[in-house]
Amino acid sequence: MKNESMLTKVDSEKNYELKLMDGSIWSINPFDIPTVTIWLPTSTIQIIEKNDGNMYNYELINLNTKQSVRGMRIK
């Protein structure tokens, strides 16, 4: 799976979950939280499924900053 959606919110009250325009909500790998703290709403996020056995089985790439984090879709 590979798609893109706009970031609408980085929810710091819920362990820095990412909320995207398509309605999906993503839990971020705790090691990657420092990276997402500076991501801004309206950034375009590319989502790539990794299928590598990792609990956080998606790579979320901020196309504006070129930074990536690992995440798990929770909704």
Q: Which pLDDT tens digit goes with each residue over 9-63?
A: 999 887 789 999 999 999 999 999 999 999 999 999 999 999 898 999 999 999 9
Residue 60, judged by CB atoms within 10 A of its CB (0-12, 13-18, 19+), counts as: buried
Provide the pLDDT for residue 14.
78
Domain count, the chain: 1
pLDDT band at 2 (very low <50, low <70, confident <90, very high): low
* DSSP alpha helix (H) spans, the chain: 33-36
Nearest to 71 by CA among 42, 40, 31, 41: 31
The rounded distance, in Å, linking the Cα atoms of 66 and 23 is: 22
Provide the pLDDT for residue 1.
52
Q: What pTM, to 2 d.p., does this model score?
A: 0.91
- Domain region containing 61: 2-73
